[in-house]
Every structure is written in C-alpha cells, then in structure tokens.
Chain A
Amino acid sequence: MSIAITTQFICFIVLSLVVIIGALGVVLLESIVYSAFLLGGVFMSVAGLYLLLNASFVAAAQVLVYVGAVNVLIIFAIMLVNKKEDLKPINDIKSRRVISTSICLTLLSLLIRVDLTNVWSLSSPQSSIGDESTIRIGEHLFSDYLLPFEVASVLLLMAMIGAIVLARRDVMSKDISTGLPVDQELIEKSSEPLLTNKN
C-alpha cells in the first residue's frame, strides 16, 4: 500500500472506532431502524479495513453484497414486521443480562489474550502481491477452489428458491385444512394462527 504509515494508523483507528461503536449501537439501541442503518455503517467501515489490508476486490464485494443486498433486505424485513408491541416482561431478565455479559467479557478477554500472547509466524512484507490480489483470487476460484465455487452457486439457487417458498403468500384461494377463503394480507387475521400456545 502506497499510503504513509501515519495516515494508515489514523485510518485504522477511525475505522475501528466506527466498527466497535456502531456494533454496540446495533445491539443496544432501542429503535430497530437506527440499528439497521448503523449496521450499514459498520459494513462500510469493515470494507475500509479490507482496503487497508490491500484487498480491493473483497472490499468491493463487501460493499455490494452486505451494504447493497443484506442491509437493504434487513430494512425491508423491518418495514414488513415493524409493529409496535409491548413485550411481556421477563422476571429473571437481570440475572440473564449479568450472566450473558460476563460470558461475553470472559470470551473477549480470552480472545485478546490469545491475540497478544501468541507468536504469529508473519511472512515478510516484501513478497506482498498488493494490487494483483484480484487476479490471484480469480486464479484460485477457477483452479483449486473450483468445486466450492460451483457448490456456492448451487447454494445460492437453493437459498433463493427456499426464500420464495417460505415467504410467499398462499396462491390457492381456499385454505386446505379449513376450506375458508384465504386472506391475502400479510397477517392472517381471520383464521386461527397455525402455531399457537396450547396452554
């Protein structure tokens, strides 16, 4: 990378702060819409971190797939299911929070300890291929990673068909089990919901 080292440090610190604070906002904010937009910011900063690591192709793929597809999909889902509802209070929420937070902090300290104490066998930076990484990725995808590449395309096809089957409304005019006409709204108000508590 041809940027001065001081600039790289400043970029890294800013991007890391945006990633960490944005991720905290995603899990902590009350409004789910703010969380979704902050998630887009986190994805963009992660793409910036990839650029600092000399990986322009993966950064572009990150922006296209995560910000362009996954985040938009999440925002659509929020718009479809965003109903104001008062959640039932959980009686042992305090102890649950304490236990989960302590588990996460323990895991974080463990991971940071491993990161800092392990001796990584770093390769010499002179052999870095830099801008040729896109060419190298293409060679990998069509030689030694050809089978995973094709399997990934089959996986995407299966996910697409599965998502359509799961999310579509009923195309039949009558319900099979009850014989009643099917409500074509997003929420089936007239019929008894299929999965209700039996208590």
Chain B
Amino acid sequence: MNLESIPLQAFLIVSSALFCIGIWGLLNSRNAVRVLMSIELMLNAVNINLMAFSSYVDNNLIQGQVFTIFVITVAAAEAAVGLAILLSLYRNRVTVDMESFNLLKW
C-alpha cells in the first residue's frame, strides 16, 4: 500500500464514530452535565467532517474552515446558555438527574 496522504475516508470514519458516541451519551446519560458534554462531542464530530472536506475537496477556497469557526462560536454560546439553564434548574429542583426533569412530559 503506497499512499500519498491519509485518505479522506479515515477522517470521515473517525468523525462518524465520534458522532455516534455522542448520540449514545445523549440518549443514555442521567447527569445533565454529561448530556452537554455529549452535545459538544457531536459538534466536534461535525467540525472534523467540515475540516476534512475543506482540506480534501475544496483546498483552494477553504470555506469549510470558515464554517468550522462559526460552529465553534455557536458551540461556545450553547455551552454558556446550557450551563446557565442547568444552574437555574439545579436551584429549583435540587438535582441534575435527567429523569426528574419531566414537568413538560404530560
């Protein structure tokens, strides 16, 4: 096997695995902080995808890198607001268990 560079598919597989791990954590975590961490993992998987495509498919006008910058910005805002919501929830319910946040369920 004589390759000139790392294949694009390797990056895509890593990002797919990271995304699925993030979804698993999002569905199965009972701690609300861990749910936020899983969301960050999924955003990072999307970023790896964007960066790989920008480097392999569009390596002259690197628009994927600009998109990654915007995704990082939105992720920072999401983390700040999410943790603020978590703190105010904890102040009212005295728990971070996801199973106890069911006021809107029925």
- Please list the residues of chain A having a beta carbon within 8 angstroms of any beta carbon in chain B: 5, 8-9, 12, 16, 19-20, 23-24, 26-27, 32, 35-36, 39, 42-43, 46, 49-50, 52-55, 57-58, 61-62, 65-66, 69-70, 73-74, 76-78, 80-81, 83, 85, 87-88, 90, 96-97, 100-101, 103-105, 107-108, 111-112, 115-116, 120-123, 125, 127-129, 133, 136-137, 140-141, 145, 148, 152, 155-156, 158-160, 162-164, 166-167, 186-188, 193-197
Contacts and interface: CB of A to CB of B under 8 A. Distances in A.
Nearest to B50: A58
Given A81-B33, A97-B28, A73 B83 contact: yes
A162 B84 contact: yes
B38 A49 contact: no
Contacts of B59: 54, 123, 125, 127-129
Contacts of A193: 92-94
Most A CB within 10 A of own CB, among B21, B60, B85, B103: B21
B33 A32 contact: yes
A136 B62 contact: yes
A122 B56 contact: yes
Contacts of A141: 66, 69
B40 A66 contact: yes
Interface in B12-28: 12-14, 16-25, 27-28
A100 B27 contact: yes
Contacts of A9: 6
B73 A155 contact: yes
Contacts of A27: 21-22, 24-25, 28-29, 34, 37-38, 41
Interface in B54-72: 54-63, 65-66, 68-70, 72
A20 B70 contact: no
Contact of B62 (A24, A107, A133, A155): A133
Most B CB within 10 A of own CB, among A78, A121, A166, A195: A166
A140 B63 contact: yes
Given A12-B10, A195-B103, A80 B87 contact: yes
Interface string B84-106: 11111011111111011001000
A62 to B, nearest CB: 7
A100 B28 contact: yes
A140 B19 CA distance: 28
B33 A78 contact: yes
A51 to B, nearest CB: 10
B40 A24 contact: no
B33 A188 contact: no
